[in-house]
Structure 1
Amino acid sequence: MSFLVHRKTRLRETVKSLGGAAVGALTIGMLRATRYFDPIKTADLFGRITGRIGPLLREQKIARANLTAAFPEKSPEEIEAIIAGVWDNLGRIGAEFAHIDQVWDYDEAYPLKSRIEIPPRTHELFHQLRLDGRPALIFTSHLGNWEMPALAAVAHGLDAAILYRRPNIASADRIVQEMRQVNMGTLIPAGRDAPIRLAEALQKGQHVAMFVDQYLTGGVEVTFFGRKTRANPMLARLLRQVECPVHGVRIIRLPGHRFRAELSEEVKPVRDEKGQIDVRGTTQAVTDVVESWVREYPEQWLWLHRRWR
């Protein structure tokens, strides 16, 4: 009996490995093929494709449940319109990622002719970060085009270290890293040694960036849209080791295939009675900023994952 169980286990592992290899090859092929086509037309096409396929997936129900709980005042029609925007945004990100080395189109001398819009205050804050000689912690969320904040940092001369999550498929990870290494700073994969590497980057004066808007089992409890959930406390824990400015960055999708890059004002950390960084309170302060962003552009946030458990 144990022999049969072992055979079945090996068979499942082999099938899983072959399936992963096939998906990885398909991902690589799609990304490389997409680069041969017009990026704007491809983004439109991908948006239409995900807009049709998305409602057939189980994530559609997850998004509907999330939005209904987050916005009880919205009608079912408004909820469905937001979800449609979510699928459209997701498809466009896929097409834009394939052209990640071309999508950052900004010329400070001719801002009106650029595809990226940068408010004066964001310009001022970026230059302040670049010139103050200090490290900084930058957080972002799965809003708008969430691959572009790293491009914004490097485009403004920041020495950036970016925490990212590797795809589960090794071959897909290689092509993703290859594309992300174009003007995205130092890439640090999530893992056991990530906190150490990120702390070292801060100690070297780098600007460390990370996502903060996904559920983390074992994370600290925070309130998001009035509901309890858990968030990654890594940013606040790093701040305990290296005190530095904290800012949020988002890239909002605008009509006409344009974007607006925004850097928030400094988010002040919460401190305990001893004056130390309060990890839970600071994580909540960062979460509050993300919530304000999502409330402003709900159709551009990734409602497809289970943010509340």
Structure 2
Amino acid sequence: MSETDTPEPVALRDRIANGAFLAIMGLARLLPYRRRIPAMGWLFAHALGPLAGWRSRIRVNLAMARPDLTEAQVRHLLRAVPANAGRSLAEIYSGTEFTDRIHASDPLTGPGLPALEQAAQAGRPVILAVAHFGNYDAMRAALSGRGWPVGALYRPMNNEAFNRHYIPAMRAIAEPMFPRGRAGLAAMLRFLKGGGWMALGFDQFDDHGTELRFFGLPTKTVLTPAELALRYDALILPIAGVRQPDGLSFRVEVGEPVAHSDAATMMQALNDDLERLVRAHMEQWFWVHRRWKRRR
């Protein structure tokens, strides 16, 4: 927002919600980093997640995708999934305490890392296919720590008061960031054509997507990451920040590049790779999304 812009009016309910969030984060920031992150995880697992109705959504999704799980395993995930979300949010608002840890450890690994290094040397555009898994921003921090030009497309939150601090917190981790909308998309395409790297999500249900499969179930998947890779001859590969057992550190796993073919085949390959990763770390994917929507 420029100095001459007039802030949009914010509904009272949104101001109250934003004030409550800032109060919680303010208290959390009084704790040292190693205690702050698990404390926010506990709060989301035992209070905020249930209050938001996440547990019922997680249970429904697990019943569809993993009916083989025992009740004990499901109960564990009802707590562990919100806990990971809470930890991730606390990390975003920890600024340099978070990014310095990522830069110092340089956690990039995986079979696709040599291809990324070659793309950086050649100035080739890259599509980073990302999901709501682990901590998305660990990946952005790791790549920017090497000086690589990683951008991201984001959708502003409905709560304008929340946006006023959330978006700057995201920008502090890595830039550039492009808002959804005509101007943001145009700027993103210019960045990509100039050899930039774009992190694009693909793991949410998309009404305008193509029906592919995830966990063996039909679901509409966005084709845009593959379409852009084909259009701009960009390297496309999956990447994820996998939270490690200590709950604080990460391994940023760079997957095998996806061969260029047709967009649907490429996106199915990404769905399959994500399913492999989620099965290995069930608590780190955001099972709250309505990934499998039923239509009459």
Shorter-chain TM range is 0.7 to 0.9
Q: Distance in 1 between matches of 2:225 and 2:203?
A: 12
Q: Distance in 2 between matches of 1:289 and 1:123?
A: 16
Deviations along 1:185-210, one digit per CA (max 9) or x if unpaired, are 20001224444332221111101111
Which secondary structure does the structure 1 equivalent of 2:251 belong to? strand
Cross-structure match for 1:268: 259
1:142 and 2:132 matched: yes
- 1:162 maps to 152
Instruction: Compute the displacement of 1:281 (Å).
Output: 2.3
Say yes or no: does 1:69 pair with 2:64.
yes
Which residue of the partner structure matches residue 249 of structure 2?
258
Gaps of 5+ in 1: 1-13, 109-113, 271-277
In structure 2, relative to structure 1, the CA distance for the partners of 1:283 and 1:197 (3 Å cut) is farther
Inter-CA distance 285–269: structure 2 relative to 1 (3 Å threshold) = farther
Determine helix, strand or coil for the equivalent of 2:204: coil
Say whether 1:38 aligns with 2:45.
no
Superposed, 1:70-109 pairs within 5 Å as 70-104=65-99, 105-106=101-102
- In structure 2, the CA distance between the partners of 1:146 and 1:38, relative to structure 1 (3 Å rule), is same
Contact persistence 2:125–2:193 (CA under 8 A): yes
Q: Distance in 2 between matches of 1:121 and 1:221?
A: 28
1:89 and 1:245 map into 2 onto residues whose CA distance is 30
Q: Could you report, residue by residue, the CA deviation over 1:123-145 in whole angstroms, capped at 9, with x for unpaired residues? A: 54443332122111111111111
RMSD of equivalent CA atoms: 2.2
Q: Is the 8 A contact 1:68 1:79 kept in 2?
A: no
2:225 to 235, 239, 242: 235
- Residue identity in the other structure for 1:86: V
* Residue 101 of structure 1: how far off its partner (Å): 2.5
Counterpart in the other structure of 2:5? none
Shift of 1:22: 2.4
The CA deviation at 1:32 is: 5.0
Work out the CA distance in 2 between the residues paired with 1:209 and 1:107: 18
Residue 239 of structure 2 is matched in structure 1 by 249
Q: 1:107 to 1:231 in 2, by over 3 A?
A: closer
CA distance in 2, matches of 1:306, 1:120: 29
For 1:178 and 1:216, the matched residues in 2 are separated by 27
Q: How does 1:1-309 map to 2 (within 5 A)?
A: 17-32=11-26, 34-53=28-47, 54-55=49-50, 57-104=52-99, 105-106=101-102, 114=105, 117-119=107-109, 124-256=114-246, 257-270=248-261, 278-309=262-293
Q: Distance in 2 between matches of 1:218 and 1:263?
A: 28
Structure 2 contact 239–253 (Cα < 8 Å) conserved: yes
Distance 1:264 1:213, change over 3 A: same
SS in 2 for 1:284: helix
8 Å CA contact retained: 2:43, 2:86: yes
Give the whole-Å Cα distance in 2 for the aligned partners of 1:252 and 1:178.
24
Distance in 2 of aligned mates of 1:244 and 1:40: 39
Over 3 Å counting, the alpha-carbon distance change for 1:196 and 1:305 in structure 2 is: same
C-alpha distance 142-120 of structure 1, shift in aligned 2 (>3 A): closer
Query: May I ask how many residue pairs the two structures share in their alignment?
Result: 282
Q: Which amino acid aligns with 2:95?
A: I
> Which structure is larger by alpha-carbon Rg, 1 or 2?
1
* Structure 2: gaps spanning 5 or more residues: 1-8
Q: Is the 8 A contact 2:226 2:266 kept in 1?
A: yes
What is the identity, as a one-letter code, of the residue corresponding to 1:227? L
TM, length-normalised to structure 2: 0.87
**2:200 match: secondary structure:** strand
2: CA distance, partners of 1:234 / 1:194: 15
> In the aligned structure 2, how far is the partner of 1:62 from the partner of 1:107?
35
- Residue 106 of structure 1 deviates from its aligned partner by 4.4
Q: Could you tell me how far 1:33 is from its partner in structure 2?
A: 5.0
